């Protein structure tokens, strides 16, 4: 399926940031953080509004103060995350809102409800990162109809109109499937169900085909639902590894390293493109 105009806008802005900041495989995530993370929140019927001037990494209802006016744990972690992100981007903490959420500040984007925009932009940005820094011999296609890729298979998924986010091929041979999710719904982790449906036909085409979730989620309970369906927690899992666009934000920012230590980062995924066969 052709990339949407809004997703292409995110890709074009990433290319500008890459030229300005000289991203490498090691810090390619900086561009995604600058574009998609934000200190503002979206309110239905109002649009983007100021919040607490920290990185909003969870649903806004999670941030509360005690009766004495003290910030709760989520707010404390948000401040720690913001300090860490500012240090990584090399900008003053007091100016962080000027350096992130850049995608949402574009006039053609700012008035739109962000949910679908996030999903599409994140998917296309992951493709762009892999195309820019990964093996040039791998070619990518976005939003592929699974029945077109795997004709003759009865593919049972939650959605009747499911699409495979990213399909990777080398010399026309299927080498990887990637599910890109900026956030995960707490009541279901559909990418696990999709992997179970797609793994058999994918590995029938190519026994070495990899299946990866690439996510931007910060909630440890939701992340664990993915990690428990990946090695080493599950042997012979449908998913090969779980990738977070910037797990250091979890490990160093909000200090969740113990629960999420098996996450891989984008630099690792970029390196893996050279091994796909």
pLDDT per residue of the chain (277 residues) written in tens, 0 to 9? 679 999 999 999 999 999 999 999 999 999 999 999 999 999 988 999 999 999 999 999 999 998 888 999 999 999 999 999 999 999 999 999 999 999 999 999 999 999 889 999 999 999 999 999 999 999 999 999 998 999 988 786 666 778 999 999 999 999 999 999 999 876 567 888 899 999 999 999 999 999 999 999 999 889 999 999 999 999 989 999 999 999 999 999 998 777 799 999 999 999 999 999 9
Q: Which two tokens stand for residue 111?
A: 């008035």
- Side-chain-facing half-sphere of 115: CA atoms under 13 Å: 5
Strand partners, 167: 141, 177
Quote the CA–CA distance of 239 and 178 in Å, as a whole number: 10
pLDDT in the model for residue 158: 64
Question: Coil, helix or strand for 35?
Answer: helix
pLDDT in the model for residue 186: 63
pLDDT in the model for residue 188: 64
pLDDT, one tens digit per residue, over 153-198 is 878 666 677 899 999 999 999 999 999 999 987 656 788 889 999 9
Q: Identify whether the C-beta of residue 175 lies closer than 8 Å to the C-beta of residue 277.
A: yes
Quote the CA–CA distance of 99 and 121 in Å, as a whole number: 18
Quote the CA–CA distance of 164 and 200 in Å, as a whole number: 15
Q: What pTM, to 2 d.p., does this model score?
A: 0.96
- Do the bridges between strand 47-49 and strand 41-43 make them parallel or antiparallel, or are there none, so unpaired? antiparallel
Quote the CA–CA distance of 131 and 52 in Å, as a whole number: 36
- Do the bridges between strand 164-170 and strand 173-181 make them parallel or antiparallel, or are there none, so unpaired? antiparallel
Q: Which two tokens stand for residue 208?
A: 């070495």
DSSP state of 100: S
Q: What are the two backbone dihedrals, phi and then psi, of residue 274, each rounded to the nearest 5 degrees?
A: -75, -15
Q: Identify whether the C-beta of residue 64 lies closer than 8 Å to the C-beta of residue 46.
A: no
DSSP state of 94: G
Q: Identify whether the C-beta of residue 185 lies closer than 8 Å to the C-beta of residue 219.
A: no
Quote the CA–CA distance of 246 and 266 in Å, as a whole number: 7
**Range list of β-strands (E), the chain:** 41-43, 47-49, 138-144, 164-170, 173-181, 210-215, 243-244
Q: Identify whether the C-beta of residue 218 lies closer than 8 Å to the C-beta of residue 57.
A: yes
Reference 214, options 230, 200, 236, 201; nearest CA is 230
Residue whose pair of structure tokens reads 């493709």 in the numeric block: 127
pLDDT in the model for residue 159: 66
Q: Identify whether the C-beta of residue 197 lies closer than 8 Å to the C-beta of residue 232.
A: no
């Amino acid at each position: 399926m052709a990339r949407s105009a809004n997703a292409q806008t995110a890709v074009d802005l990433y290319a500008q940031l890459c030229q300005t900041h000289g991203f490498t495989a090691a810090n390619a995530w900086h561009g995604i953080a600058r574009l998609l993370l934000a200190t503002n929140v979206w309110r239905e019927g109002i649009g983007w509004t100021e919040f607490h001037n920290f990185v909003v990494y969870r649903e806004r209802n999670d941030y509360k103060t005690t009766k004495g006016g003290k910030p709760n744990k989520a707010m404390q972690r948000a401040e720690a995350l913001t300090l860490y992100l500012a240090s990584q981007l090399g900008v003053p903490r007091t100016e962080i809102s000027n350096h992130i959420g850049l995608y949402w500040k574009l006039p053609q984007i700012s008035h739109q409800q962000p949910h679908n925009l996030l999903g599409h932009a994140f998917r296309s940005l992951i493709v762009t990162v892999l195309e820019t820094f990964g093996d040039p011999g791998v070619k990518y296609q976005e939003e592929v109809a699974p029945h077109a890729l795997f004709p003759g298979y009865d593919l049972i998924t939650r959605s009747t109109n499911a699409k495979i986010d990213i399909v990777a091929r080398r010399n026309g041979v299927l080498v990887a499937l990637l599910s890109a999710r900026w956030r995960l719904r707490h009541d279901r982790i559909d990418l696990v169900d999709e992997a179970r449906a797609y793994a058999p036909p994918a590995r029938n085409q190519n026994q070495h085909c990899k299946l990866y979730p690439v996510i931007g989620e910060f909630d440890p309970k939701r992340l664990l639902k993915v990690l428990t369906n990946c090695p080493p927690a599950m042997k012979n899992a449908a998913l090969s590894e779980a990738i977070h666009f910037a797990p250091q934000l979890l490990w160093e920012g909000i200090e969740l390293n113990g629960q999420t230590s098996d996450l891989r980062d984008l630099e690792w995924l970029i390196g893996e493109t050279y091994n796909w066969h």
